[in-house]
Amino acid sequence: MLVVAFMAGGTQAIAEEAKKAVADVVVASQTELVLTPEQFESCRQVYFDRCAGCHGVLRKGATGGALTPDKTIPMGAKKLRDFIWHGTGGGMPGWGKMGVMTAAETDLMVKYIQNEPPIPPQWDMKNVKASWKLLIPPDKRPTKPEHNRDVSNMFAVTLRDAGQIAIIDGDTKEVISTVNSGYAVHIVRMSMSGRYVYTIGRDGKATMIDLWMKKPETVAEIRCSLDARSVDVSKFKGFEDKYAIVGGYWPPQFVILDGATLEPIKIVSTLGYTYDTEEFHPEPRVASIVASHFAPEWVMCVKETGQVWLVNYTDPNNPGIKMIEAERFLHDGGWDASRRYFLVAANMRNKVSIIDAKEQRLIANVDSQGIKPHPGRGANWVDPQFGPVWATGHIGDDVISIIGTDPVGHPDNAFKMVAKVQALSSGNLFIKTHSKSKWVWVDHPLSKNEEHRTTLGVFDKANIKGGIFKTVKVSDYGKAVHLEYNKAGDEMWVSIWGNLGDADKGKGGEIVVIDDATLTIKARIPNLVTATGKFNVYNTVHDVY
């Protein structure tokens, strides 16, 4: 029996490209695994939306385990159905229990993942160039801000399921502009000047928004791959905003762009060998990227091979690449307060890899003593006992790990876990503070406990070992996810992640603003469908977290 397979991708557009590019025919291994072409296509889309990020397009496994037929067929339908429906203790969401998949969809997915994965197409410079649109060239953009708002306290907010970015005035809380972006837009980074917002969609589409415009709009866009999660700009002195970089999940590659126009300059594949076993990996995806302040370089994590690449952009057509062996699988991370040390989660091994951007080397792989560290960019503060520290939470349990980051003033604590405290429960995704705040905040959007999903834990920096100082319940629907301060550090903003389908009931999503002095809710910014990541201009430019 034959099953027609299309490639993995995101949007309808990808499916169209795929149909042109791939007309593979996959033989289902058992009669009961047969899917019609329509069922296969719908499962392919569900897999891309819900599963590929953790398990990989080729299903070789990463944050989640491998899902190739040699693994899934022996596991059997019942076990697979249970995993998909109920989730796992390791952090996999229960898609059925959460109401994301019906029983019938779950059954189809069980069959789908027992079939061979479809092979996605490539996306080379010809495709990248053809997708580039310079909507407003630099000489047609404003020469000074067209408004009196404080650009440095604006927020760019990802409206995930709407594929849009909301630009919000942090002072007045007005939504100034809502701009289309890539599909399921993932993150935002700011230009060093603080004028431009760079976004990346899950479909690899990067956009650039000008905050000087009266109503900020997209000035350029480009599709650098078919599946992506990261973008950043050049920040080293003399190179501020000159170049941008977009990391790709599929194809596994990165593209260097002109920082003012997004015109593509260079495309580089990340295909290669795992750092430890030196086996070829067909899908080493680009995870987090940060811009070094010590050299004209990006610090770029290659997830599956466990390498951190230092990409030198002095001569972007001939980029220098230093490969540093770190750990697998590299995911998200951020700077310590001095911005010399980059700390990134290696979630397969429950480690935090620490890279010294000045000496361009790995300092340590610290055991995070929890399951699946997930820092976002982490949180930095000065502990009265341990000195400067950085912290991460975990998806798979309730551990908050605190790591010393000051080798000069506190050498005994540096690059070691100095303490661990407990969040409300497992399922933490983000942790945040501000240098002017007394508090460290954690969310629990993936908690198995429904109450905890909308409750934040607040820790007192002066007594971190005292555990949670206070809990703040922020919503009676959805999930409270991703934390960000305003520029002054006196308001903490959290997103409520609702459902696109519940928008007409006022439960599509919103932002809750908490007064940092009283730890009480001070404002709500409603009607922000699936509001997720929030990025304050000043804090993002200056790595305040």
Residue numbers of the site for ligand DHE (CB under 6 A)? 52-54, 63, 160, 186-187, 229-230, 287-289, 331-332, 376-377, 429, 481-482, 532-533
For residue 251, whether the previous peptide bond is cis, meaning omega lies within 30 degrees of 0, is yes
Nearest-approach distance from CB 285 to ligand DHE, in angstroms:
8
410 is catalytic: no
**Residue 371: CB atoms within 10 Å:** 18
281 is catalytic: no
Q: Print burial letters for 244-256: b (CB count within 10 Å at least 16), e (below 16).
A: bbbbbbbbbbbbb
Q: Measured from the CB atom, is 160 or 266 closer to ligand DHE?
A: 160
Q: Measured from the CB atom, is 63 or 455 closer to ligand DHE?
A: 63
- 382 vs 386: CA distance, rounded Å: 8
Nearest-approach distance from CB 479 to ligand DHE, in angstroms:
9
What are the φ/ψ torsions at residue 375 (nearest 5 degrees)? -85, -15
Q: Measured from the CB atom, is 83 or 386 closer to ligand DHE?
A: 83
Q: Which residue is nearest to ligand DHE (CB)?
A: 53
Q: Measured from the CB atom, is 52 or 421 closer to ligand DHE?
A: 52
Nearest-approach distance from CB 268 to ligand DHE, in angstroms:
16
Closest CA to 287 of 309, 273, 303, 310: 303
Here the tokens at position 168 are 């919000």
Nearest-approach distance from CB 401 to ligand DHE, in angstroms:
18
331 is catalytic: yes
Q: Please give, one letter per residue, the 3-state secondary structure of 476-529.
A: CCCEEEEEEECCCCCEEEEEEECCHHHHHHCCCEEEEEEECCCCEEEEEECCCC
Q: Print burial letters for 476-509: b (CB count within 10 Å at least 16), e (below 16).
A: ebbbbbbbbbbbebebbbbbbbbbeeebeeebbb
Instruction: Please provide the distance, in angstroms rounded to a whole number, between the alpha carbons at the two ends of the chain.
Output: 55
Here the tokens at position 166 are 């909301």
Residue 221: beta bridge partners? 133, 207
Residue of 186, 281, 374, 452 marked catalytic? 374
Residue of 109, 213, 300, 331 marked catalytic? 331
Nearest-approach distance from CB 148 to ligand DHE, in angstroms:
28
Residue of 92, 208, 213, 417 marked catalytic? 92
Q: Measured from the CB atom, is 15 or 414 closer to ligand DHE?
A: 15
Q: Measured from the CB atom, is 52 or 464 closer to ligand DHE?
A: 52
Nearest 5°: the CA angle 534, 450, 185 is 30
Q: What is the CA radius of gyration of the chain?
A: 22
- Which H/E stretch holds residue 536? strand 531-536
Nearest-approach distance from CB 157 to ligand DHE, in angstroms:
10
51 is catalytic: yes
Here the tokens at position 299 are 């610090």
Cα distances from 7 to residues 19, 161, 464, in angstroms, run 8, 22, 48
Q: Measured from the CB atom, is 229 or 410 closer to ligand DHE?
A: 229
Nearest-approach distance from CB 28 to ligand DHE, in angstroms:
26
43 is catalytic: no
Q: Measured from the CB atom, is 188 or 414 closer to ligand DHE?
A: 188
What are the φ/ψ torsions at residue 524 (nearest 5 degrees)? -130, 135
Nearest-approach distance from CB 486 to ligand DHE, in angstroms:
15
- 21 vs 485: CA distance, rounded Å: 45
Nearest-approach distance from CB 454 to ligand DHE, in angstroms:
15
Nearest-approach distance from CB 395 to ligand DHE, in angstroms:
9
Q: Measured from the CB atom, is 132 or 485 closer to ligand DHE?
A: 485
- 137 vs 323: CA distance, rounded Å: 36
434 is catalytic: no
Residue of 55, 394, 434, 444 marked catalytic? 55
Closest CA to 187 of 149, 143, 233, 146: 233
HSE (side-chain half, CA atoms, 13 Å) at 66: 11
Helix (H, G, I), strand (E, B) or coil at 189: strand
Q: Measured from the CB atom, is 368 or 413 closer to ligand DHE?
A: 368
Q: Per-residue DSSP letters for 105-155? A: HHHHHHHHTTSPPPPPPP--HHHHHHH-EESS-GGGS-SS-SS-S-GGGEE
Q: Return the active site residues.
A: 51, 54-55, 92, 331, 374
